[in-house]
């Protein structure tokens, strides 16, 4: 599928096997191995442009599931690439356009617009700081989640090695937020596959260090010997809400 951002780095490991989770070995990352692994992830660039249609399924606590169609584009440039997400207004949820400019090790740039009726030329505004920790299209995904903003925090360290998740041997990397304000994450734990270096799941903790959200792959498909990511999920442990992002159709350029 070739996607980066949350769709390509957080959930690119599509060779998952079913298996029991097992605790790993505690590790003191004095040599900066965690930071080196994260830098490798941030400098991976999509091979080509792509466009995918998907469906955001939002299940609020105690409520009925809301479905929001989404169009996702990747546009590769000379200095990085852009992830572009676009939705239309659905069930009282405003439409949205989000552009995330990835620039390798440099900070992400976020441009965002919401609308009740899509204008011909949406007025995008730049988001910075705590503003990127707002829901995208009424879902459990923060805008910061879609950009994997936690990988840009200065502290990235391995805290456990050889921990099993989804049948894969992983390193557990802790990303620490230098400015953990209310409504953001204080830290994120990521399980990086030992063989590929890709993140197969992650947990975000709030400013009080309580588990807030869990990200994971929930479905893949195989066709002609190739594995394709079909669904990812983010669950809010504190509100018991969850959002699933399904990939319905890939459009060839």
Residue 130 included in any domain = no
Quick one: pLDDT at residue 115? 93
Structure tokens at 172: 């557990």
Residue 81 included in any domain = no
Structure tokens at 63: 């409520």
Owning domain of residue 148: 5-64+137-251
Quick one: pLDDT at residue 218? 74
What span, in angstroms and rounded, lies between the C-alpha atoms of 180 and 207?
6
Angle at 201 between CA 195 and CA 207, to 5 degrees: 130
CATH number at residue 16: 2.50.20.10
Quick one: pLDDT at residue 105? 95
- Residue 38 DSSP symbol: H
What are the angstrom distances between the C-alpha of 241 and each of 9, 218, 244, 245? 24, 16, 10, 14
What span, in angstroms and rounded, lies between the C-alpha atoms of 38 and 173?
9
Structure tokens at 248: 């319905």
Quick one: pLDDT at residue 231? 83
pTM attached to this predicted model: 0.87
Give the chain's residues under pLDDT 70: 1-22, 220-229, 249-253
Quick one: pLDDT at residue 14? 38
Quick one: pLDDT at residue 3? 41
105, 121 Cβ separation under 8 angstroms: no
Residue 123 included in any domain = no
Quick one: pLDDT at residue 222? 62
Residue 109 included in any domain = no
What is the CA 225 to chain-centroid distance, rounded?
26
What span, in angstroms and rounded, lies between the C-alpha atoms of 12 and 5?
10
Tally of structural domains, the chain: 1
Strand partners, 63: none
Residue 78 included in any domain = no
What span, in angstroms and rounded, lies between the C-alpha atoms of 104 and 13?
20
Structure tokens at 67: 């479905």
CB burial string 143-181: b at 16+ within 10 A, e below: bbbbbbbbbbbeebbbbbbebebbebebbbbbbebeebe
Residue 148 included in any domain = yes
Residue 117 included in any domain = no
Residue 88 included in any domain = no
Closest CA to 142 of 41, 10, 32, 2: 10
Looking only at Cα atoms, what is the longest distance across the chain? 55
Segments of the chain assigned E as strands: 25-26, 50-59, 66-77, 80-87, 95-103, 106-115, 125-127, 155-165, 168-176, 187-193, 199-205, 211-223, 226-236, 241-251
């Amino acid at each position: 599928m070739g996607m980066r951002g949350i769709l390509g780095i957080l959930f690119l490991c599509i060779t998952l096997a079913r298996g029991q989770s097992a605790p790993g070995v505690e590790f003191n990352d004095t040599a900066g191995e965690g930071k080196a692994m994260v830098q490798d992830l941030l400098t991976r660039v999509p091979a080509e442009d792509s466009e995918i249609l998907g469906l955001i399924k939002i299940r609020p606590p105690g409520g009925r599931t809301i479905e929001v169609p989404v169009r996702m584009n990747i546009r590769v440039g000379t200095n990085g690439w852009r992830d572009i997400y676009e939705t239309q207004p659905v069930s009282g949820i405003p439409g949205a356009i989000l552009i995330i400019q990835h620039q390798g090790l440099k900070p992400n740039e976020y441009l965002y617009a919401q609308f009740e009726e899509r204008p011909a030329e949406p007025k995008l505004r730049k988001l910075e700081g705590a503003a990127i920790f707002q829901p995208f299209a009424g879902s459990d995904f923060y805008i910061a989640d879609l950009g994997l903003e936690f990988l840009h925090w200065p502290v990235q360290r391995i805290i456990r090695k050889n921990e099993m998740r989804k049948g894969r041997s992983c390193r557990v990397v802790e990303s620490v937020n230098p400015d953990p304000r209310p409504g953001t994450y204080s830290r994120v734990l990521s399980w990086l596959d030992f063989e590929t270096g890709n993140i197969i799941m992650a947990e975000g903790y709030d400013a009080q260090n309580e588990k807030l959200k869990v990200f994971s792959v929930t479905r893949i498909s195989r066709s002609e010997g190739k594995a394709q990511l079909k669904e990812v999920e983010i669950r809010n442990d504190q509100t018991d809400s969850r959002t699933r992002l399904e990939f319905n159709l890939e459009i060839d350029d």
